[in-house]
Amino acid sequence: MTIVPFVSVGDLFFSDSRESLRKKLNEGFRAGVKEFEGIKDYYDLFKKSDLMVAYDKDDNINAFEFYKGDVIFNGISLLKEPYINLIEIFSKNDPGLVVNGTTVTSNKLGIGLNAPYAGTEDEDAFVESVIVFRKGYYDVLL
């Protein structure tokens, strides 16, 4: 699934409604709410696809978070490339890249990476989740 920043990941579009996305994925899901620093994200967790979709209070899509699969940006499969390599690649595309130990966030590209084992004895740690978010999603935290 190819990432088009702020537009789509494969055939999943930020402009899709919550209901149309559920129909498009056509699989069981669990809906819920998570809160971080006073901000509520409503979500659907699609276990079969290992995908979490975050929505705002009006059911507009905020983010897609992938835990497996072929999530591609600039021809690179982000879940199959060592984390350290991705930092280097993303740094070239976004001089404002935020690297915080095991996470990377590119507000310019709308992509975040999480590699919980980076910096341990596993020098070739891989990303375990990729979040693709809408423009302004993290602005409240900045």
Domain limits of the chain? 3-135
Q: Are 9 and 2 in contact (CB under 8 A)?
A: yes
**90 pLDDT higher than 90:** yes
What average pLDDT does this structure show over 26-52?
Answer: 92
pLDDT recorded at residue 37:
76
Q: How far is residue 15's CA from residue 29's CA, in Å, rounded to a whole number?
A: 20
Q: How far is residue 8's CA from residue 92's CA, in Å, rounded to a whole number?
A: 22
Which among 12, 14, 13, 32 is positioned nearest to 137, based on CA atoms? 14
* pTM, 2 dp: 0.92
- Span 114-133, pLDDT tens digits: 998 887 665 678 999 999 99
pLDDT recorded at residue 76:
96
What average pLDDT does this structure show over 8-36?
Answer: 95
Res. 142 pLDDT band, cuts 50 70 90 = very low
Is 3-135 a CATH 2.60.460.10 domain? yes
